[in-house]
Amino acid sequence: MFVFFCQLLVCTWCRVQVVRGGYEITRAQAEQRHLIADRENLRLELAHLKSPERIARIARDHLHLVAPSKQQTMEME
Question: Which pLDDT value is given to residue 28?
Answer: 98
Band the pLDDT of 74: cuts 50, 70, 90: confident
The answer to whether position 29 is within a domain reads yes
- Considering its fold, how many domains does the chain have in total? 1
The answer to whether position 74 is within a domain reads no
Domain that holds residue 38: 7-66
The answer to whether position 46 is within a domain reads yes
Q: How far apart are CA 26 and CA 63, in angstroms?
A: 50
The answer to whether position 72 is within a domain reads no
Note the pLDDT tens digit of each residue in 20-69. 999 999 999 999 999 999 999 999 999 999 999 999 999 999 999 998 88
Is-above-0.75 flag for pTM?
no
The answer to whether position 38 is within a domain reads yes
- On whether the CB atoms of residues 59 and 53 are closer than 8 A, the answer is no
Note the pLDDT tens digit of each residue in 2-24. 888 899 999 999 999 999 999 99
Q: How far apart are CA 77 and CA 71, in angstroms?
A: 17
